[in-house]
Structure 1
Amino acid sequence: MTSAADFTSGKGHRDENFPVASRLVRAELRPAILAFYRFARTADDVADHATASAEQKLAQLDRLEAGLRGQAGMGVEGEILRSTLQARNLTDRHARDLLEAFRRDVTKRRYADWSELMDYCRFSAAPVGRFVLDLHGESDALWPLNDALCAALQVINHLQDCAKDYRNLDRVYIPLDRLGVEGLAVDCLSARQASPELRRVIVGLARQAGALLDRSRPFAERIADRRLALEVGVIQALAEGLVRRLERRDPLSERVHHGAVETTGLALRGGIVVAMRRLVRAVGARQPGLRGSRG
């Protein structure tokens, strides 16, 4: 296996749980986001390949990084992203951080506690949002809010896919100390239905993701770009909806993902909430007496 095509899953940006370069984003910026996504998707496919050896996966990730650093003929997705970044005078730091996460996926299959998981999310999730903020010319003062939202999205995905990740990849993102408190071993994830003990673990982690979403809630209204703010508001609303579903549903035996109608409703509500908050904030800025009305 010597090229990225040997590892491809066939998954694209329309298959993700959350919007990627949706029409809310300015049209001229979507190609750059998609170039970043394809780089990340390629690396993810490499790390998650079912039969490739660890050595083959790490070698292919190295080729992607070599392309990103300008070595021709090494990794086309990296070369394309490099050209995109250079055209906009953007750093490759966020893409390199993602590669760190995918290398961990190859070599690390268990996480001891929440702190270890959050450190992983710092590399696997936060760089995506940071890149989008940089692309829009937003301040890096927004990074803490971005990181909270991105970490929550990552944890939600881990919980939704916990059985599949264990079954297909022998990879467990649920912290081992949480399982240990309930007297569980990782093979509990192979059951057809979660035990009451495992449900308590999943609900507890879902609520911690919810706490991260509480921290990220002001994020959208503080983004200068109106269209990006609306997209972030949509993502926030979808994530909050998934946390509620994880509190009620068993990802081992029940569907957690939103259906199309639910997704549309949550997206509309999220966008409207952000638009209204931004309007109130703008009016409050012009009329100081109204500032206390912002909710």
Structure 2
Amino acid sequence: MPAVSELRSGKTHRDENFPVASFLIHPRHRALILAFYNFVRTADDIADHSTLAASDKLAYLDLLEAELLGKGDSQKEAVALRLALADRGMPPRHALDLLAAFRMDVTKLRYENWDDLIHYCRYSAMPVGRFVLDVHGESTATWPANDAVCAALQINNHLQDCGKDYRDLNRVYLPRDALEASGASVEMLGSQKASPQLLQCLHGLAVRNERLLDESKSFSAEVKDFRLGLEISVIHAFAEKIVRLLKARDPLSERVHLSPLELLFGSLSGMAGETARRAVGRRPVSKPAAGR
């Protein structure tokens, strides 16, 4: 069995849709966050590997979990995170939740409805934000807002990559009932351009995801750490820009990712807004939940 690092896709924290341990995060937290990211990215790449058999993927994920829990020292990503967590006296709970999501990626290729998709996000996305909050010593009272924005980020990603996920992995995160309600089929994801029915489904899901994102507008105000608040504001600004693209464009044939210039302006806008809000002590008001 080769080392799991040999199965990495080459994607790094600089290639994500959102900042990972950016300069906004205090330097004392960055090494731990990057150790967590490298562990998670390795596990994600295993689950998404194009040639590994499902049984081999699950065996590698089991190996990562075992070594994270101290049962071996052969996989550097697991060992590095285990030591970094031990140094802070933190449990591996959030990394274990993410491993559960990656096992779902291997064994579960379709989702029935929105609730089914949110359940997946509970393991695939929400633990990432919860981990960062724990690193900063924030209250668990911030988790509901975190969970909303993390799920929205995940669903943005599902919509952006829906064609690629279907073609490369036969994996479809678009809920079956949403496809059926629009008269769309899974097979339409294999086309170079979305049919009117599929486009209706995709835009409807983007609108629903925008409402989910609206629920997390108070998130940056709920955290005590100023630098983390800035990071959250930047992430939220990125997510809002992406969801606007997804409401108007076809992810099968049009660009639905942010350009470097858009990333720059989104960062500046998010930081400026959060700095101004904290200066005057104003708390953003979340819109009422609108039927997830």
TM-score by length of 2: 0.95
- For 1:46, the equivalent position in structure 2 comes to 46
- For 1:62, the equivalent position in structure 2 comes to 62
Q: CA deviation at 1:292?
A: 11
- For 2:136, the equivalent position in structure 1 comes to 136
**Quick one: distance in 2 between partners of 1:208 and 1:3?**
41
Answering whether residue 236 of structure 2 is matched by residue 249 of structure 1, we say no
Alignment of 1:1-295 (within 5 A): 1-281=1-281
Moved more, 76-85 or 60-69: 76-85
- For 1:288, the equivalent position in structure 2 comes to none
**Deviations 1:55-81 (CA, angstroms, capped at 9, x unpaired):** 100000000001110012343211211
Query: How many residues are paired up?
Result: 286
**Quick one: distance in 2 between partners of 1:43 and 1:133?**
21
Q: Structure 2: which 5+ residue stretches go unaligned?
A: 286-292
**Quick one: distance in 2 between partners of 1:21 and 1:260?**
18
**Quick one: distance in 2 between partners of 1:39 and 1:276?**
36
**Quick one: distance in 1 between partners of 2:141 and 2:284?**
23
- Is the contact made by 2:218 and 2:284 (CA closer than 8 Å) also made in structure 1? no
- Is the contact made by 1:67 and 1:76 (CA closer than 8 Å) also made in structure 2? no
- Is the contact made by 1:66 and 1:74 (CA closer than 8 Å) also made in structure 2? no
**Deviations 1:116-166 (CA, angstroms, capped at 9, x unpaired):** 000000000000000000000000100000000000000000000000000
**Quick one: distance in 1 between partners of 2:155 and 2:186?**
17
TM-score by length of 1: 0.94
- Is the contact made by 1:66 and 1:75 (CA closer than 8 Å) also made in structure 2? no
Q: Structure 1: which 5+ residue stretches go unaligned?
A: 285-290
**Quick one: distance in 2 between partners of 1:181 and 1:255?**
26
| Matching residue's letter, 1:190 | G
- Is the contact made by 2:125 and 2:150 (CA closer than 8 Å) also made in structure 1? yes
**Deviations 1:70-110 (CA, angstroms, capped at 9, x unpaired):** 01234321121111111001121000000000000000000
| Matching residue's letter, 2:48 | D
Q: CA deviation at 1:2?
A: 3.6
Moved more, 1-10 or 214-223: 1-10
Larger-Rg structure: 1
- Runs of 4+ deviating beyond 3 Å: none
- Is the contact made by 1:67 and 1:77 (CA closer than 8 Å) also made in structure 2? no
Describe the shift of the 1:113–1:84 C-alpha distance in structure 2 as closer, same or farther (beyond 3 A).
Answer: same
- Is the contact made by 1:199 and 1:250 (CA closer than 8 Å) also made in structure 2? yes
Describe the shift of the 1:292–1:76 C-alpha distance in structure 2 as closer, same or farther (beyond 3 A).
Answer: closer
**Quick one: distance in 2 between partners of 1:114 and 1:82?**
34
The Cα RMSD (Å) is: 1.6
